[in-house]
Amino acid sequence: MSESDPTVATPAELALHRTFVDSVHELKRSIVRSCHYLRQIQLRKVYRALGYATIVDYAATEVGLTRDQCESFLRLARQLPLLPGVTEGLEKGELNWSQAKLLCRAATPATEQEWIETAKGLSVRSLAEVVRRVSTPVKPVAASTARPKPVASEPPSAPKTCFVTVAFHMDRFAIWEAWLASARAAAPGAPTDELVTRLIEQGGAEVAVRLVIQRCPDCRSSVIATSRGDLAVTGALLARAACEAERQGPDGSVRRAVPPRLRRLVLARDGHRCQAEGCGRAQHLQVHHRTPVEEGGRATLDNLITLCGRCHRALHEREAALKAAAADPTV
């Protein structure tokens, strides 16, 4: 504002004002375009070509979107082409981001304009309550002396959606990522929530997965490559992998830690059940070396025992904890 008259804007101030308004309008148009681009990256699996296991990992690493934000972008990208009025309202600033998300959940091409008019007269919280309660706006009924027709009962509200955020240690993340890749290969196109539901219905988190551990022949360090970087493999995970690993030599040859015939003999001897006290599970069975491989334990019938994946992991983790405690003079 000018010093002589605080109510009159200078040309520089007006230019700043117009630049701000234009930038906000451009930002709102950019949101719509961003939704479209993210959807195309998902459909064309561009994120995999860039080294990411999921579109959520890609969006989080490259642009800092949370899982909820990524799913909102993708949901809008699917719905907005069907709802041109919502798209226009979002671009012009007549609808905000929260309103657009709610309208995409409830509106159809036939009811879009009614929903837009409803949204303009309500707060976001009130609109969310309306969307929760009904699937279409209630139209006013003209007064009539005719006998009223039976009114259908209100349809039940849609099931609520629960969003869950899970934090993994890197070793658990490597297992999760490997399982997710194998699950997607078995059910192409299935959404992540459906795959996780299948995992839960299988009765636990122990599902057979293949982890590729790369070991340096010089320094003997081991890593697993993940979409979040290399995981240094040590301790319990490395010891567990050594029990049933397939070792690939530099010439491409593969040698199993436990030959298939010997593995079948161990499982048959143990009745195809986990031998840990109090367990007895018959699924996700693995073969464990009583004397560890790194301590000279050999793949012999007497040195091998059947454990389920859960007990096998717990055993090696307990051994690693005991070794760490024994090495600490304060314990």
More confident residue, 69 or 329: 69
Written as one letter, the residue type at 136 is T
- Measured CA to CA in angstroms, residue 151 lies from 141, 154, 155 at distances of 12, 9, 12
Q: Are 235 and 265 in contact (CB under 8 A)?
A: no
**pLDDT (0 to 100) of residue 3:** 46
Distance between terminal CA atoms of the chain?
Answer: 71
Closest to 319 measured CA to CA, from 264, 243, 246, 223: 243
The contacts of residue 78 (CB under 8 Å, 6+ apart) are 39
pLDDT digits (tens, 9 = 90+) for 266-321: 999 999 999 988 888 888 788 999 888 878 888 899 999 999 888 888 888 888 88
* CB contact set of 108 (below 8 Å; sequence gap of 6+): 82, 136
Asked if 118 and 127 count as a contact pair (C-beta separation under 8 A), the reply is yes
Q: What predicted TM-score, i.e. pTM, was given to this entire model?
A: 0.42
CB 38, CB 73: distance < 8 Å: yes
139/110 Cα distance (integer angstroms): 13
Beta-bridge partners for 224: 213, 231
Q: DSSP class of residue 152?
A: P
Residue among 159, 118, 108, 158 nearest 138 (CA): 118
CB atoms within 10 A of CB 184: 15
| CA pair distance 181, 39, nearest whole angstrom | 20
The dihedrals phi and psi of 118, each to the nearest 5 degrees, come to: -65, -40
pLDDT confidence of residue 274? 92
pLDDT interval class at 154 (50, 70, 90): very low
Please tell me the distance from the alpha carbon of residue 104 to that of residue 83, in angstroms, as a whole number: 8
Which tens digits make up the pLDDT trace of 186-225? 777 777 777 777 776 655 444 556 778 887 878 778 888 7
Task: Please give the single-letter amino acid code of residue 122.
Answer: L
* Distance from C-alpha of 133 to C-alpha of 156, rounded to nearest angstrom: 8
For 104, the token pair is: 């995409």
| Joined tokens for residue 121 | 């007269």
Q: Give every CB contact of residue 299 below 8 A, 6+ residues apart in sequence.
A: 257, 258, 259, 262, 289
Q: How far apart are CA 303 and CA 324, in angstroms?
A: 24
Strands (E) across the chain are located at 213-215, 222-226, 229-232, 246-248, 254-256, 285-289, 304-308
pLDDT at 134: 59
**Is pLDDT at 8 greater than 80 in this prediction?**
no
Instruction: Tell me the pLDDT band of 28, cut-offs 50, 70 and 90.
Output: low
C-beta atoms surrounding 27 within 10 Å? 11
Domains and CATH numbers, the chain: 11-133 (1.10.10), 167-233 (no CATH), 256-327 (1.10.30)
**Would residue 100 be called left, alpha or beta, if left means φ above 0 and alpha means ψ between -120 and 50 degrees?**
alpha
- DSSP structure class, residue 162: -
**pLDDT at position 275:** 92
